[in-house]
Amino acid sequence: MVFYAFYWTTVAHIKGLISEATNAVSLFVSLNPSYWSSILMRFHLRNIKFILFASALVSNSQAQCPDYTTYSQTPHDPRSTGPLALPYMRPAPACRTFNSSSVEKVITDMKSLLKDPDIARLFENTFPNTLDTTVKYFSDQENLAFIITGDITAQWLRDTANQFAHYHTLLAVDPKLATLVKAVINNEARYVAEYPYCGSFQPPPESGLTPSVNSYAIGVIVNPPVNNQTVFECKYEIDSLCGFLKLSRSYYQATSDASFINNNWRDAVDQIFRVINEQSQGTFDANFNFISYYNWTGGAGSLSPAVNNLGNGEPKAYTGLVGTHHRPSDDLSVFAFLTPANAMLSVELTNLANMLDDVGQLKNVSQLAKTWSTRISDAIYATTVVDDIFAYETNGLGSRYVMDDANVPSLLSLPYLGFLNKTHPAYVATRQLLLSRGNPYYSAGKTFNGIGGPHVDPWNPWPMSHISAIYGTDNDQEILQHLYLIANSTNDLGLIHESQSIYDTSYTRSWFAWANSYFAEMILDLAERKPELILKTNKPYTPGR
């Protein structure tokens, strides 16, 4: 173990020295090319053996990096000093997929500030997880980055936006991290511009990475057709487009850099409004002519069954809301108008308009965004709320489905999304129902409870629901109950899982970057709005400030 730690530290140090030396040499050569060329020649002859050794060591270290899917299923030392003795789950420095000094500083700060060493260890494991494990490709020259969600080698628009949400305040002080996020936005803009109905994608051709074979997508018929060398899976979820807008505006809010608004990005935004217009229409026109712009059949071997009515979904009437075929969980919608996804869309369209007004660009798009944002928000309150209870889904024909799914956007996460205040009477009443038997996807056992969804099953709640619940309350006791239910249920792995059984300690997905990021984001939110609850002092802490 001692040699292992020394080995990785040495590798990381050598990588840093090579990088720094390369930069320094480039600077000096540019100042006096002829003189420094002769010096470099002598340096090269003397040190070629060392350089070859260092290069081989670095290359060998990368080859020996363990697969994180396997690595994350076994606890690693050292343990935290709290009663839970949680393991240290970060990969070795040389195996991390992206390194950020500002992220390391936040970890150091929070470890010294947090009262509970077990919560500190959870934060230490989860806060860097996206950068440690999911940056599969990054080129600042190409302005492209490919980010996986965890144990699936594909880039989901929704997941990526959430995986980077907790780094938001660092972008202004960390140019390298900001460049990475800008490259993610550009890569996603290309995806959305070509396939706006799809939510997950293959690596960009420039990366040289081989596209994955998604066995669940084989035999699925999508109309309009897609290229599976670009698209990993083409389920239509309106929140995926919201995720792209969220990542774009959060980057701008943090950096004031509008250079990401290029032709790719403009084309993507145009396609988003095309989808909004198409999917807000009713199933039939005035003469009962069937209206269809997109359908998805499912198929043999597909994880999700076919969308009803030849892939077109349940009939709906125009309400001002935007329909979707799948939920944020990738499961089928029962009714087309998913309330939380529309709430997120309303918020992000307002943010889009504010950003475009701020930079003085695309005034027509800004006005369109404002119009749709208001229309959607008004329709949510007019058509989904009955007796102060939000329906999860509606169809504009009088049908309502009262439930919630743990995946964000969810009804429980409406305050987190920025759609309403956590004290809004309709949210308070809905929240109470969602965290009870009144929600068909709420379940409780002796050691764990929460909201799940049909993606796994009703008796496997998701820790993510407890994170959303913390965002939805200012009650200290409730916050601590939710927080420690998560902390006590990691199955001794110190990471946030997808779902956990109410009957035993079994779980799904040890490596789920979105859930890890969401947890770390929540801890930072508490450090800012309720520092006395989790920090040693009553002084708020915000990364990058």
Q: What would the mean pLDDT of 233-261 be, rounded to a whole number?
A: 97
Beta bridge partners of 442: 451
Environment class of 151 (CB within 10 Å of its CB; exposed 0-12, middle 13-18, buried 19+): middle
What six digits make up the tokens of 337?
Answer: 């108008």
> Does 492 score more than 50 pLDDT?
yes
- Per-residue confidence (pLDDT) for residue 111, from 0 to 100: 98
By C-alpha distance, which of 468, 469, 443 is closest to 456? Answer: 443
pLDDT tens across 47-56, in order?
Answer: 444 444 444 4
Residues 6 or more apart in contact with residue 202 via CB below 8 angstroms = 154, 155, 211, 212, 228, 229, 230, 231, 232
- Per-residue confidence (pLDDT) for residue 62, from 0 to 100: 55
By C-alpha distance, which of 194, 367, 344 is closest to 268? Answer: 194
- What sign does the dihedral 347-352-353-354 (CA atoms) show? positive
Lowest mean pLDDT among 39-48, 119-128, 390-399, 401-410: 39-48
pLDDT tens across 161-204, in order?
Answer: 999 999 999 999 999 999 999 999 999 999 999 999 999 999 99
Report how far apart, in Å, the C-alpha atoms of 389 and of each of 420, 451, 469 are. Answer: 14, 17, 16
CA angle 257, 194, 237 (to 5 degrees): 85
- Per-residue confidence (pLDDT) for residue 449, from 0 to 100: 98
What six digits make up the tokens of 460?
Answer: 């496997």
- Per-residue confidence (pLDDT) for residue 250, from 0 to 100: 98
> Does 113 score more than 80 pLDDT?
yes
CB atoms within 10 A of CB 175: 12
Q: For the chain, state the CA radius of gyration.
A: 24
CB atoms within 10 A of CB 420: 18
CA angle 177, 179, 185 (to 5 degrees): 110
What six digits make up the tokens of 251?
Answer: 């980057």
- Per-residue confidence (pLDDT) for residue 220, from 0 to 100: 85
Q: How far apart are CA 395 and CA 313, in angstroms?
A: 11
Domains and CATH numbers, the chain: 96-197+236-291+307-533 (1.50.10.10)
CB atoms within 10 A of CB 172: 17
- Per-residue confidence (pLDDT) for residue 300, from 0 to 100: 52
pLDDT tens across 520-543, in order?
Answer: 999 999 999 999 999 999 999 999
pLDDT tens across 248-305, in order?
Answer: 999 999 999 999 999 999 999 999 999 999 999 999 999 999 999 998 887 655 556 7
What six digits make up the tokens of 108?
Answer: 């150091």
Q: How far apart are CA 431 and CA 420, in angstroms?
A: 13
**HSE of 134 in the Cβ direction (CA atoms, 13 Å)?**
30
Q: How far apart are CA 158 and CA 522, in angstroms?
A: 18
